[in-house]
Amino acid sequence: MTEEEIVQMAPGLMQALAPEEVEESPSGRPRRRKQDDPMSGLRKWVPKTRLGQMVMAGKVLTYEQALATGLPIREVEIIDALIPNLEDDVIKVNMVQRMTDSGRRVRFNVMACVGNRDGYVGLGMAKAKEVAAAIRKAIIAAKLNLIAVQRGNGSWESSAGPGTSIPFKTHGRAASTRVTLMPAAKGKGLVIGETGKRVLDLAGVSDVLSRTKGQTRTTINYAGATFNALQNMNTTRISEESKERLFIHKGRLLE
């Protein structure tokens, strides 16, 4: 593979095909890598969709280009190849029991959140018979549910420059839980419950005010309502003059 071909590859594929660094344990033996390592999955990846083949061929190098194609993202390897620095966080693990004729059936329901702390966040849920399998499926579902977050300086106290808050007030809802996010000045911090902080932190929002209603003790609904509020910002039409005045940018900050 020539240097020109390596340059025309997605950042995740470049990391996956780079020489592996073997970490040694204190005993002198090489440490075992995680079985669910996204890089190992990219090494064995054989694209099945049109968008996946474009990413593998080097025609699509960023997540923004993938969205511009209009093609659906149905392979999690596409996300791993275009945004390799995604972090994941398990929001909630619930054990669900069901009584059947053969006995008690136990399954696990998991909600996970992923994000790059710079304008992209995803939320997903999954069920499985084992906790590890449920977490793995939930992380995959969250990656396939990735959205771009709009950030800006919507507060009158904010100064000029790239925003660390949201551009305007937005509402989110999940079951009986309702969350209202409001712009805050830089340095205010995340004035929201612990569950909402975990979602906003992975989204790259560092300053926000909030108001909640309903059963906020329900962790899954609280996280879902916060994510829904970020989703609803993308459905609002904004003029070009407002985008310049509020320093609105969508997704990650590209240099």
Which tens digit of pLDDT belongs to each residue from 208-225?
999 999 988 899 999 999
Determine the Cα angle at 64 with ends 52 and 206, to 5°. Answer: 125
Residues 165 and 244 in one domain: yes
Domain boundary among 144, 164, 180: 144
Q: Do 182 and 226 contact (CB within 8 A), yes or no?
A: no
Q: What is the pLDDT of residue 136?
A: 94
Residue 99 pairs in a beta bridge with 104
Other CB atoms closer than 10 Å to residue 70's CB: what's the count? 7
Q: What is the pLDDT of residue 226?
A: 96
Segments of the chain with pLDDT less than 70: 1-7, 19-36, 158-161, 253-255
- Residue 116 within any structural domain of the chain: yes
User: What is the pTM assigned to this prediction?
Assistant: 0.85
- Residue 129 within any structural domain of the chain: yes
Residues 234 and 172 in one domain: yes
Q: Which domain CATH number covers 118?
A: 3.30.160.20
Number of domains in the chain: 3
The pairing of beta strand 177-182 with beta strand 103-115: unpaired
Residues 129 and 210 in one domain: no
Q: What is the pLDDT of residue 26?
A: 56
Q: What is the pLDDT of residue 99?
A: 83
CA distances from 120 to 79, 86, 157, 165 (A): 11, 9, 25, 14
Residue 39's domain spans which residues? 3-19+26-82
Q: Which domain CATH number covers 195?
A: 3.30.230.10
Q: What is the pLDDT of residue 213?
A: 93
3-state secondary structure of 91: strand
Residues 238 and 177 in one domain: yes
